[in-house]
Amino acid sequence: MNLTSPSQVKAWCIERGFHPNRTLGQNFLIDRNVLKAIVDAGLEKAPGAKRVLEIGPGLGVMTEELLSRGCEVVAVEKDPVLAANLGKMLSSPAGLEVVEGDALAYLDRGGGTGFDAMVSNLPYQAGTRILLEMAEARAVPVMTVLVQTEVAERLAAHEGSKTRSLAGVLAQFDYDVEILRKVAANCFWPRPEVGSSVVRLVRHDRNVAMTPEKRAFFRSFAKRAFAQRRKQLGSIFKDMIKSTSRAEELSNDDWVSLVELLAERDKGEG
């Protein structure tokens, strides 16, 4: 079966009475050029990648491409029908492990470790949370994913941008984030109502020496700041800092410096 053929994909679904679930973000990629470009980008920054995590494999179009590149793939699929059929669709290859279940529950169990890369067409509803949990764990060196364009822009936005967000600050703390390309709606079936983009996160070590306690403080501090993003930081944290800046105006280096400053102040007061 040609998994990038709309007619064959539709026929498979009709034969089995399967209806793509929009709530689960089941929009299957049907453009082979885009498919190859995503996998190329995913493996480019992870040369020699052997073990790859894929979340939301659907019918297996990306799984098939990754396997053809010599990768061993762990595919996490929430839909029981798709999970049960994934191996059959691909003729039960030796390099494929299918995990049926919720991706977030899988990550909570520590399943997101031991991979050289993640390449996925992430479900729209849970995509941001999945990426942020993966980023916080720092377990995977390179993550290349298809997400809503709005999500991609928030993740990649730098200081001063209107799309600068808590998600971007948290993701960029340990990863360099880059939007690689937009993907047209007609590259999917069913056609999604929102735009999609390919975003790549490459792990860096600029903050690797920060202690777990400081990291926890940073996340708590940033969440509180973005919850009141229209206010100046000096107004939000009156007893801690004097600043006329707002949360989205701080660079990642600014956030790190601020956390270090406050941590030293607490240490001195203690």
148 and 32: one domain? yes
Mean pLDDT value of segment 18-35: 90
- SS3 state of residue 158: coil
111 and 221: one domain? no
126 and 244: one domain? no
Mean pLDDT value of segment 61-86: 96
- Give the CATH number for residue 117: 3.40.50.150
Last residue of a domain, which of 155, 172, 203?
203
Q: pLDDT digit string (tens) for 84-94?
A: 999 999 999 99
Determine the structural domain holding residue 232 and report its residue range: 212-269
113 and 243: one domain? no
Query: So what's the pLDDT on residue 259?
Result: 87
Of 95, 49, 57, whose CA–CA distance to 76 is shortest? 57
Mean pLDDT value of segment 52-73: 97
- Give the CATH number for residue 234: 1.10.8
pLDDT band at 266, cuts 50/70/90? low
Last residue of a domain, which of 203, 223, 245?
203
Q: pLDDT digit string (tens) for 225-263?
A: 999 999 999 999 988 889 999 999 999 999 999 888 887
23 and 130: one domain? yes
Q: pLDDT digit string (tens) for 130-149?
A: 999 999 999 999 999 999 99
With 70 as the cut, is the pLDDT of residue 190 above it?
A: yes
- pTM here is 0.94
Share the mean pLDDT of the chain: 93
For 35-40, the CB contacts below 8 A with 24+ separation are 35/4, 35/61, 35/62, 35/65, 36/65, 37/180, 37/181, 37/198, 38/62, 38/119, 38/121, 38/144, 38/146, 38/198, 39/65, 39/66, 39/69, 39/119
Query: So what's the pLDDT on residue 212?
Result: 93
Query: So what's the pLDDT on residue 256?
Result: 92
Mean pLDDT value of segment 113-123: 96
219 and 155: one domain? no
Residue 1 maps to a domain: no
- SS3 state of residue 19: coil
Q: How many domains does the chain have?
A: 2
Give the whole-number percent of the chain exceeding pLDDT 70: 98
Query: So what's the pLDDT on residue 267?
Result: 65
